[in-house]
Amino acid sequence: MKSGIFYPAVLLVCALSFSVAAQETATGKGFEITVTVKGLEPDSFCYLANYFGDKQYIIDSVRVNAQGAATYSADTLLHPGIYLFVLHDKTYLEMVVDRDQRFKLNTDRSGFINHMKVEGSEDNRIFYEYLVYINAKAAEMKTLQSRFGALESKPQERDEVRKRMMALNDEVIAFKEQFIRDNPDMLMTNVFKATKEVNMPAEKPLDASGAVDSVALFYQYRERFLEHVDLSDNRLIRTPVLYPKIEQYVKKLTPQIPDSINATADFLIEKAQDSPDIYKFIVWWITNQYETSKIMGMDAVFVHMAKNYYTREKAFWADSTTIYKIQERARILDPILLGKPMRSMVLKDTSGVYRSLHDIKAPWTVLLIWDPDCGHCKTTVPKLKTLYDKAKDQGLEVYAVDNEAELQKWKDFINEHDLNWINVADMDFQNNFRYELDIKTTPQLFLLDAEKKIVAKQIDVFALSGMLEDKLGIPLKMEKPEGHDDEEPSEGEENGSH
């Protein structure tokens, strides 16, 4: 009994972080929305909610009166968008909140759409006329699809059904196009535009051999993907259509490498400059997606976003503490991004002799941060030793830094496992590598090239063995046992994390 425009939504009852701040109104009238549903239980609670980006937020609740009516009101205006009237069982109906913010909806639980009567809102009257129309067409299409599937042995009849299905689809497209022409300023017009198919050129690009150039075709599609999406219309952020477009453009149509993602982010943010809520959502969403990404190297996107958009002038929604924390996090990550030179490290070995990381003359160096008491280190370090023994004569060195610097435990572990690589420690805790290398858990592995630039980080020995096999050209790759996760860094006092 849902009346979703395009697909059902899952209602998330959670605290608002973006969207419930209402607009002030000079008239003082504010909004008043009354929804009456025949069959609604008196004294039950219903909710007013709205879309924002990829979620839906509760913004008010009200008790249903004896007539099955619920009224929401305030002295301020709601932000324009698609809102939801949510019943106690989480079924819901949708409504347009835009120019008209004092209106009444009256319907029946047996069919929200077909029984809907609208008073005081031209937007919602037109909206529900559309829903009645599209539901009827959807029912007709479902019947045709069923017939089509049953006519496999009758190709002529099947072809007739196919033609009717294509004609029905064309009718719906024509209906929406006429709606767009008739209602150029309506929110639903930009909703319809945002869901239009990409308009591709009739002639497909060809490669030198005369075949269709799939790469050029992809970039044609990508270039046109957002041509109907009006990022200057702030209303779209409170509809269910904008987020899927942004997500697909960023995560499916953009190569997942930091430089490409950063360029896409800049492009989208520039397009949304005049839409404060779309702007802040894009900034927040991209920053959050790639700060928490488990794909190595994506922290470069977070750093780009933090440096370019989390300033007091641009991150107008964030307080000074939040901005400081994000910028500080970026300051830590920036020097240890892939491709950056590893910081200088000069630490004492077990004999008290200073050993420099940058003095190592090897094509490849593994920087290992570990601790003899760390449970995961006890399994990871011996595996790395096995890998080292196979590759040390082919150009691999290991610079292993004890994170805790308990001298006797450290030496005992080294002797027990014959760790014949470079073993060093910060015995006096004078070196700031734990902070500068963002060492929160152990073990941590960095792969460095001959110039000590970071090639890989936060990887396990299995991934490292595959990378070194490719780089050294010798069989090294280890098999990772199914369901075996002992390479994951551990946290807390046991592993000496800081």
The single-letter DSSP state of residue 352 is S
Q: Is the pLDDT reported for residue 272 higher than 90?
A: yes
Cβ(477)–Cβ(467) below 8 Å: no
- What b-and-e string marks burial along 194-205, b requiring 16 or more CB atoms within 10 Å of the CB? bbeeeeeeeeee
* Matching residue, tokens 């070194």: 468
Residues 358 and 463 in one domain: yes
Q: What is the pTM of this model?
A: 0.84
CATH code for the domain in which residue 75 is found: 2.60.40.1120
Residues 190, 230, single domain; the answer is no
Residues 283 and 225 in one domain: yes
Alpha-carbon Rg for the chain in angstroms: 30
Compute the average pLDDT of residues 265-273. 97
Q: Are 80 and 238 in contact (CB under 8 A)?
A: yes
Domain boundary among 281, 306, 336: 336
Q: Are residues 351 and 488 in the same domain?
A: yes
| Domain shared by 350 and 264, yes or no | no
In which band, very low, low, confident or very high, does the pLDDT at 316 lie, cut at 50, 70 and 90? very high
Q: What is the mean pLDDT of residues 124-143?
A: 95
Q: Is 274 a member of any domain?
A: yes
232 domain residue, yes or no: yes
Q: Which long-range contacts (CB under 8 A, 24 or more apart) does 322-330 make?
A: 326/287, 329/291, 329/302, 330/302, 330/303, 330/306
Tell me the HSE value of 350 on the side-chain side, using a 13 A CA sphere: 16
Q: Is residue 7 part of a domain?
A: no
User: Can you give the CATH number for the domain in which 475 is found?
Assistant: 3.40.30.10
- Specify whether 218 is located in the same domain as 298: yes
Neighbours of 275 (CB within 10 A): 20
Whether the CB-CB separation of 382 and 417 falls below 8 Å is answered with yes
- Which range, of 75-84, 330-339, 428-437, averages the lowest pLDDT? 428-437
User: How far is residue 176's CA from residue 479's CA, in Å, rounded to a whole number?
Assistant: 56
Indicate if 332 and 372 belong to the same structural domain.
Answer: no
- What φ, ψ does residue 225 adopt, rounded to 5°? -60, -35
Asked if residue 455 has pLDDT above 50, the reply is yes
Q: CB of 138 within 8 A of CB of 129?
A: no
Q: Indicate the residue among 120, 147, 181 that finishes a domain.
A: 120
Q: Check residue 248 and report its DSSP letter.
A: I
Range ranked top by mean pLDDT from 152-156, 211-215, 348-352, 420-424: 420-424
pLDDT band at 256 (very low <50, low <70, confident <90, very high): very high
In this structure, the answer to whether residues 235 and 355 fall within a common structural domain is: no
Alpha-carbon distance of 66 to 334, in angstroms, equals 61
Examine residue 105 and state whether it is found in any structural domain, yes or no.
yes
Residue 151 domain boundaries: 129-194
Distance, CA of 229 to CA of 225 (rounded, Å) = 8
Q: Is 210 helix (H, G, I), strand (E, B) or coil?
A: coil
- Does a structural domain hold residue 253? yes
Whether 158 has a pLDDT exceeding 80, the answer reads yes
311-332: average pLDDT: 95
Tell me, yes or no, whether 378 and 360 share the same domain: yes
Q: Is residue 139 part of a domain?
A: yes
175 shares its domain with 234? no
Residue 452 CA to residue 360 CA, distance in Å, equals 9
pLDDT tens profile 374-423: 999 999 999 999 999 999 999 999 999 998 878 899 999 999 999 999 99
- What is the pLDDT, as a whole number, of residue 148? 92
* Crossing angle for the helix pair 320-333 and 299-309, to the nearest 10 degrees: 140
Distance in angstroms (rounded) separating the CA atoms of residues 132 and 313:
46
Give the per-residue pLDDT at 278. 97
Looking at residue 483, its pLDDT comes to: 52
Tokens describing residue 412: 């005992």
Q: How many domains would you assign to the chain?
A: 4
Assigned domain for 3 exists: no
Cα dihedral 414, 417, 423, 429, rounded to 10, equals -50
Check residue 150 and give its pLDDT: 92
The verdict on 424 and 291 lying in the same domain is no
Tens digits of per-residue pLDDT, 33-57?
A: 999 999 888 999 999 999 999 999 9
Residue pLDDT, tens place only, 5-39: 333 332 222 223 333 344 443 344 799 999 999 98
Spatial CA neighbour of 93 closest among 102, 81, 84, 106: 84
- SS3 for 462? helix
